[in-house]
Each structure stands twice: as structure tokens, then as C-alpha cells.
Chains A and B, each alone.
Chain A
């Protein structure tokens, strides 16, 4: 008889902060520069260079700590973590071990199983390492230190999660909070948010923890979910065979959907941490915390409530629009311009989301400006163009951010309300469709819909539908 197992999961989430400069020097953090152009003696560990802490890093870390209900450490320090690896030119990473900036927080998540709080053990500040590019053909690697010294916060959760679903809910909530704060763009595929999964299994209801493994190299929510299922199955199989789970770090291969051990316990890390002598302590006053707190932007829950009261949006709309920072920003900016919140909401929730899906894009890849969205809303709402034309033009706004007003003018797409032109078109449709005309005269009300459609088609979607309807009834 097989036993029932429970999965116990804790996460270590690294987030690259959205500062302009690195954590300890004034080099740019911009992504994608030519190799080693964003480097200096400090971030390449040259002897005699001295780090100076970026104030914005401390403020972002505090902001995330406050938003995740953590206690802010009033007296915090940095420590050195020693290891040798080519991506780390100093041979140590400056991090925080003993006095991390935030502790004892938690966020509420919601899954099909209900609401629960996932505890946050701590958040600490540290520096990122450089990047190694492995040559495909030769036994060499190329090292680029542009990322060396980019500021990170590491958010360490308590082992409070029990399923892949809870893990994804926690990560999505965390990502949304950090995006709302503007502290990071949190892109898993670009590595500005990285999650390591600590997982163990135990018999359901047991009070002890099983031996855990740590899984790395998880670049998407889907990969995380698959890795959790895979690792849970692997550990249960070991236990069922009477074997032991070994405490180790494993690397997930999402193409093969398996993981393999990266280091055995014999090489278990001995980082020889000690207090960082080149940096003075950070003392955080009540006033400073109050300042950061007063600058916290509106978070999702408040925004959702405001969208319903201020703009009169249904809760459903408010939920979708605030579920992504890009949607919320776009909605507010376009509404500010055209003053039609529900219409703007519809264009985002229907057409924009449809086009994102069709093009396999994420919301943060939206290219078009709120100005051009506002124009489309106004042009369609005022009847300058028909809905059909508006949707077609919006596709071009979505893809190329064209100015819809100029485009409509240039291509003569305005709705035709000229009675003479419409009358001519309607007369022709009546001539060409004697069967439908007869059906209508025999009382088939539906036939008129077909005739309206034919007229719209003949007018390339530009005819004023109300007038077409009226003219048809008049002429039949």
C-alpha cells in the first residue's frame, strides 16, 4: 500500500533592482551593452578599489520589505562570501548573512485551495556576478563583467508552500508587488527574476522535514511547475525504494524535463563568510522608513478598489487591468486623455489581449502609446469610423504604433454617412439579391441583416450601419 506524501517547498528568489548604476560603483546597469563596456576597477575586483553603496539599492530593498510586511533591520551590515569562479572577479561576493535588511514578513496568496500566507524569512542585498558564454565548438568560455555588481535582492521564503500551484501564486504575487513598486521589471526569461526551489517530501501529516534538494535554472513559470512535479516524483520514488534523498543542488533541464546533480555533498559549500571590511554599517532610522513608506505607490488592491469607485468599472475589469502593471499604466494614461474609462478598458481587455495572444507576446512587450489607444477609442466612439474599421486600424496601432487619426484620413476610412452614396450602394445590393428581398417581403425579418451585411461589404466596412438599415427599410 503506497503512502501519501506531502511536498514542502521554500523559494529563494533573486531580483535585479531597477537602479541606473551598480550596487557599489557608478557603472551603468543597462542590459545588452557590448561586453565589458560597463566595468571599472570596483566591479572587476581590482586591488585597492573600494566599494561605495548605492543609496537607491537600500531604498528599493526597504520598499520591497515594507510591501511584504517585513521588519526592517535598523542596523545592518554586509558580509563577504568567498568562492572561486570565473564569473566572480573579486573571488568573493558582497552579500548579507548576519544582519539582512528585512526579516519576518509574508504575503497572502490565493489558489483554488483558498487563501494562505507564505512567510518571508528574510530579504538581503547583494551583488550579481558576471556572465559566462560557453563556446559551442571549443573548450573555452568568454567572460563579460557587465552584470558584475548589478544590485540584487534575494527574497528567502519560509518552507510554507505545498504545491506547484502555490509556488506560482506566490511568485506572481511577489512579481506584481515588485513591478508596482518599480523596483524591478522581474522578467524570468531575461534573468531579472530568478527562482531557486528548495523541495522535500514527507509523509502527509508528519512533523519532521524530509531531506531537501535545491533546484536551479528555472526560466519560466511553466519550467518551475514541471521541475516541482519532476522532483517530487523523483524523491518519492527514492523513498519508496527504501533509498535516501541526498541533500544537493540540482540543475533542471527543461528540454529533457529532468534534473541532474550539480555538486555532491563532498564539495558542499564552505563560503567562509566574514564581515565586509570595506563597507560601513547601514543605520536605518524611523524617519527614513517613514519616508520610504510615504513614497510607496498605490498597490494592486487599492488600485482595484479605485478603478471601481472612481471610474465605475466592473470588478472583473478592475481585476484584469490591475493584474498587470503595463495594463494598469496604459489604462490610466489613455483614460486621462480621452475620458472614457469603460471604453478604454474594453479595448485593452478584448482587442489588446487578443492581439497579444495571437502574436505570442507578454503585456510588457506592448509597443503602442496610450495617445494612440485614446485616439482609437474616441474615433470609434464618435462614429468617425465603424467598429470594423476601428478594429482593423487598431491592429496597425498594436503592431506599429501608427497614428490612427492620420492613417484613417490618409486612407479615406471614415464612415460614409453621405446619403447619396449610401443610397446608390443599397439600391445595387437590392438589385443583386432578389431572393433575400423577396424573403424579407414575405416576412423574414432576418433577411435584412444579410442585406445590411452585403451593403457594408460593398462599402468596405465604412458605411454608417444605422443609415444603411434605415435606407434598406425605406427602399424595400
Chain B
């Protein structure tokens, strides 16, 4: 089964991932991604009828924390690697919307 990644698809994935790829990088990514899809096709050959989808390999559930504050002021560590800061916050280019 051929899994050709179109130019539009690679462009769109680039936008979603906020990546700017050169032509050469795009070609390489297209090749890698079609190989990944080929691998998925191989997995799809397995008959999974009646098998519950699984998101964890360990049969563990209900891991909780109690609602008690134990963390103290973390601002120093949080801001340690900030390229720019102002008034105790990260300084970023103006972003409007959301």
C-alpha cells in the first residue's frame, strides 16, 4: 500500500508543529513519514476484533494525591532559564487572541 505524503500534508503538519522546513527537510520528512505509515499498515494486519483499546501497559488505576499544599515558592527555578523576564514573569512577544 502506497502512503504518499503530499506537499499539502507536510505543509500543514509543519504549521501545526510550528516548524519551518527547507525543501530538502520536507522531502526527508515525507519519506520518513510514509515509512511510519507503512509500519502502521503492517500493525493493522493484526485482527484486533474484540480487543479493548489500551493506553497503559500496566494494570494500574486510581493513583491520587491528597489535596495538600506542599510546594513552596518556585518562581526562582521556574524563571531560571527565561531568556527575558519582567515583573516576575516571562517576557514574550506580544500575543493576542487565544
Seen from chain A, the residues whose Cβ lies within 8 Å of a Cβ on chain B are 19-21, 25-28, 34-41, 44, 52-56, 58, 77, 82, 84-87, 132-135, 138-145, 216, 251, 262-263, 270, 272, 275-277, 279-283
Q: Tell whether, in the assembled complex, residue A277 and residue B78 are in contact, meaning their CB atoms are under 8 Å apart.
A: no
B44 in the interface, Cβ–Cβ < 8 Å? no
Q: Which residues of A contact B87 (CB under 8 A)?
A: 35, 142
Of the A-B pairs whose beta carbons lie under 8 Å apart in the complex, a sample of 14, sorted by A's number, is A21-B68, A26-B69, A36-B79, A37-B75, A39-B75, A53-B63, A54-B67, A55-B65, A85-B95, A132-B92, A143-B91, A144-B89, A277-B56, A280-B58
In whole Å, how far is B46's beta carbon from the nearest beta carbon of chain A?
A: 19
In the complex, the answer to whether B97 meets A19 with C-beta atoms within 8 Å is no
Q: Does chain A have a CB within 8 A of B48?
A: no
* Docked pose: A28 CA to B74 CA in angstroms: 11
B20 contacts A by Cβ under 8 Å: no
Q: Select one of B58, B64, B75 contacting A58, CB under 8 A.
A: B64
Contact A36 B75 (CB under 8 A): yes
Contact B16 A135 (CB under 8 A): no
Total A-B contacts with CB atoms under 8 angstroms apart? 133
Question: Is there an interface contact between A142 and B86, defined as CB atoms closer than 8 Å?
Answer: yes
Mark each residue of chain B from 74 to 91: 1 if its CB lies under 8 Å from any CB of chain A, else 0.
Answer: 110111000000111111
User: Judging by beta carbons under 8 Å apart, are A21 and B64 in contact?
Assistant: no
Question: Once the chains bind, are B67 and A38 in contact (CB under 8 Å)?
Answer: no
Residue from A55, A144, A251 within 8 A of B67 (CB atoms): A55
Min distance, Cβ A151 to any Cβ of chain B, angstroms: 10
Contacts A133-B89, A143-B90, A251-B97 aside, 20 further interface pairs with beta carbons under 8 A come to A20-B68, A26-B65, A27-B69, A36-B75, A36-B79, A36-B88, A40-B71, A40-B77, A54-B65, A55-B66, A56-B67, A77-B55, A140-B86, A140-B94, A141-B92, A142-B92, A277-B56, A280-B63, A281-B61, A282-B62
Pick the contact of A27: B71, B79, B94 (CB < 8 A).
Answer: B71
Q: Shortest Cβ distance from A252 into chain B, in angstroms? A: 13
B51 CB to nearest A CB, Å: 15
B69, B70, B89, B93, most chain A CB atoms within 10 A: B89
In the complex, which residues of chain B have a beta carbon less than 8 angstroms from the beta carbon of A134? Answer: 94-96
Looking across the interface, which residue of chain B has its beta carbon closest to that of A281?
Answer: B61
For the complex of A and B, list the 9 residue pairs with the smallest distance between their C-beta atoms, beginning with the closest. Answer: A275-B55, A35-B88, A142-B89, A55-B64, A56-B67, A36-B75, A143-B90, A26-B70, A139-B94
Contacts of A26 in B (CB 8 A): 65, 68-71
Asked if A38 and B91 sit within 8 Å, CB to CB, the answer is: no
Q: Is B42 interfacial (CB 8 A cutoff)?
A: no
CA distance A85 to B97 in the complex (A): 10
Give chain B's interface residue range (CB within 8 Å of chain A).
Answer: 35 or more
Task: Name the A residues within 8 Å of B18 (CB-CB).
Answer: 84
Distance between Cα atoms of A140 and B75 in the complex (Å): 20
Complex CA–CA separation, A143 to B93 (angstroms): 10
Taken together as a complex, chains A and B put the C-alpha atoms of A282 and B63 apart, in Å, by 8
Q: Which residues of A contact B75 (CB under 8 A)?
A: 34-37, 39
CA gap between A35 and B75 in the complex, in Å: 8
B60 CB-CB contact with A under 8 Å: yes
A251 to B96, CA, bound (A): 11
A268 to chain B, nearest CB (A): 11
**A142→B90 contact, CB < 8 A:** yes
- Please, how many angstroms separate the alpha-carbon atoms of A327 and B82 in the complex? 47
A437 to B60, CA, bound (A): 92
Q: In whole angstroms, what is the CA distance A28 to B75 when docked?
A: 13
Taking CB atoms, residues of chain A closer than 8 Å to B96 are: 134
Q: How far is the CA of A275 from the CA of B58 in the complex (A)?
A: 15
B94 near A141 with CB under 8 A, answer yes
A82 to B86, CA, bound (A): 27
Report the Cα distance A44→B71, complex, angstroms. 13
Verify A262–B65 contact, CB threshold 8 A.
Answer: no
In the complex the two chains form, is A20's CB within 8 Å of B69's CB?
A: yes
Contacts of A276 in B (CB 8 A): 55
